[in-house]
Chain A
Amino acid sequence: MRTTVLNAVHRELGAKLVEFGGFEMPIQYTSIVEEHHVVRKAAGLFDLCHMGRFEIRGERAVEAVNHVVTNDVAKMKLGQIRYSLVLNHAGGVRDDILIYRMPDSVYLVVNAGNRDKLVGWFAEHLVRPGATFRDLSERQAMIAVQGPHAEGLIAPLVTTGWVSDIKQLGYYQMSDARIKVGGRVYTGFISRTGYTGEDGFEFYVPSEDGASLWRGLAAACGDRLRPCGLGARDTLRMEAGMPLYGHELEEDLNPLEAGLDFGIKLQKPGGFIGREPLIASTVGGLKRRLRGFTVDGKKVARQGMAVYAGERCVGKVTSGAPSPTFGKSIAMALVESAVGDAKLEVDVRGSRAPLVDHPLPFYQRPRRA
C-alpha cells in the first residue's frame, strides 16, 4: 500500500486508516457524520495527495489530450478547468478527470485508483511528436478546504496572480498562488473546485511542502477548519449527486446513461476515443438512466443491490448510504428507461424497500449572488 506525504499527520490526528485506490488513507478522524456536517456548515480539510497529477506539454499538447478526453480542451481559456471523461474504444469509462488549462501545458487530475492505468493508456494514445507526458503525482501534494466558510478562512492567507484575489476566482477556475501560513510562504496553485457540493478550494504545492502546509493551515484556522476523511467525502459527493469511479462510472458503463453529457462534446472537431459507440447508444434513446432515490423506511440501499419493478429486476444501485444531511437513505441507481415512473423497490438482503424518486442532486448549496 502506498502512503501520501500526509500519512504521519493522519496518524498524529488518530485517523482511522484504510486502503483506497492503492493508498493508505484516512476514512475518518472523529466520525463520518460529524465530519460531513462540518463540511456542510463550516470548513473541512482533506488530503487529496493520493490522486494522480499529469502534465502534457508541447505544441500538440491540446490536440493530443483532445484525442483521449470527451471534453474540448481547444476551447479552454487560461485558468479554466473542465470536467471530462476518458473512454475506452467501446465508449465505456476509463476514468473521470479534471482538465486544467495552464500557460504552457495541459494539467490533468485523475483518480488515485486509475493512475497507473491511465499512464499506460496515455503512453499509447496521447503521447506523440509535439506532446510530452509527465506524471507529476509523486512530485506534488494536493489539499482541499471545503465548506461555506472556506473562502473566509483562506482569503487572508492567499495571494493570486491570474486573478486579483481569490474572491474573484470563479467556480472551476484556477490561479497561481502564494499561501502565507506559519511564517512561511508556499508557492503553487489554487483552484475553486471540489467534490463535496460546497464552495471550496484545492491547493497544489510541491510534495515536500504538503505536510507543512497542512499543519500551517490547521494552526492558522484552529477549530474553524477540521480534518475530514474519505468516509465523509463519499457521503458528501453522494448527496451532491456526483459520480464516483467504480460506482456510476466503469469500463462497461456508458457515461451518457450517467447523465454526464455536460462533459462530453460529441461534435468536437477531431472526435475522441469512444465517440462512435456513444453516438450509437443514443440511437432510439438511452436504454438506461442514472436516477436518484430516497428509501422509504430504515433500510439502507447500497451499491450492487437490485432494483425491482414488481417481480422484474430493472436495474441496480450504483451508490447508496445513509445521508447525514437528510437523515434517510439515499441512492443513485442505473434503471431501465422503459420503466418510466413505475413504482420501484430495492432488494436489501432479501427484503424489499420502496424507492422514492428524487431528482439529482439531493443537495445543492445556496448559490452566492
Chain B
Amino acid sequence: MTLPKDRRYAASHEWATKNGQICTIGISDFAVKELGDLVYLDLPAVGKQLQAGASFGEIESVKAVSELYAPVSGKVVEINSELEDSLELLVNSPFDAGWMIKVEMSSPAEYEKLLDAASYQKKLDEH
C-alpha cells in the first residue's frame, strides 16, 4: 500500500488528517501488518482529553498488546465504533474505513510538526 500524501504521520505509526480544527487519526498499514492477527481494539470515550505523545488506546494481537499514541492534543469528538467489532476494516482499509478517532485540536500547530509521507516512508525504509 503506498502512503497517502494527504496526511501526516507519527514515528509511532499513527496517521492524521486535518479538516479545519478536526483531526482524524488512525494507524498505518505497516503498523497493522506488524501487529499480525488483530483481536481487540480499545478506543477512548468521546469527550476524553488527549495529550500529544500520550496513549489514547490499545490494539491487541494474538501475541501482544500495543499502545496507540495521540499525534495531537485535543478532545475526542467521535470514535469509529464500527471498528471495534470489525477489525478487518483496519486490515483492509487502514487509511480510510479503518480510521479510529476524531479529535478537536487544542494546538493546531502540533499537526504541522508531524512527519510528511516522504519522511515517514524514510523511517519505514530504515526499519
Contacts and interface: CB of A to CB of B under 8 A. Distances in A.
Interface of A: 16, 27-28, 31-33, 231, 235, 298-300, 302, 321-322, 324, 349
A300 B65 contact: yes
Contact of B39 (A28, A231, A322, A349): A322
Nearest to A302: B65
Nearest to A328: B39
B63 A298 contact: no
Given A16-B36, A302-B65, A349-B58, 16 more contacts: A27-B63, A28-B36, A31-B36, A32-B37, A33-B37, A33-B62, A235-B62, A298-B39, A298-B40, A299-B40, A300-B60, A321-B62, A322-B37, A322-B39, A324-B37, A349-B65
10 contacts: A33-B62, A231-B62, A298-B40, A299-B40, A321-B63, A322-B37, A322-B60, A322-B62, A324-B37, A349-B65
A229 to B, nearest CB: 11
Interface residues of B, number: 9
B39 A300 contact: yes
A273 B62 CA distance: 38
Name the 8 nearest CB pairs between A and B, nearest first. A322-B39, A33-B37, A32-B62, A298-B40, A32-B37, A31-B37, A300-B60, A322-B62
A271 B65 CA distance: 44
A33 B87 CA distance: 14
A300 B59 CA distance: 11
A321 B36 CA distance: 14
Nearest to A327: B39
B40 A231 contact: no
B36 A32 contact: yes
B82 to A, nearest CB: 15
Contacts of B40: 298-300, 322
Nearest to B62: A32
Contacts of A28: 36
B39 A32 contact: no
Contacts of A322: 37, 39-40, 60, 62
A231 B60 contact: no
B97 to A, nearest CB: 20
Contacts of B65: 300, 302, 349
A216 B65 CA distance: 38
B32 to A, nearest CB: 12
A204 B36 CA distance: 31
Contacts of B62: 32-33, 231, 235, 321-322, 324
Contacts of B58: 349
Nearest to A322: B39
A45 to B, nearest CB: 20
Contacts of A300: 39-40, 60, 65
Contacts of A31: 36-37
Nearest to B64: A302
A322 B65 CA distance: 12
A235 B60 CA distance: 15
B90 to A, nearest CB: 14
Interface in B32-64: 36-37, 39-40, 58, 60, 62-63
A32 B60 CA distance: 14
Interface centre among B58, B60, B62, B63 (most CB of A within 10 A): B62
Nearest to A234: B63
Nearest to B63: A231
A188 B37 CA distance: 37
A365 to B, nearest CB: 21
A302 B58 CA distance: 15
Contacts of A349: 58, 65
B86 to A, nearest CB: 13
Interface string B21-39: 0000000000000001101
B102 to A, nearest CB: 23
Contacts of A321: 62-63
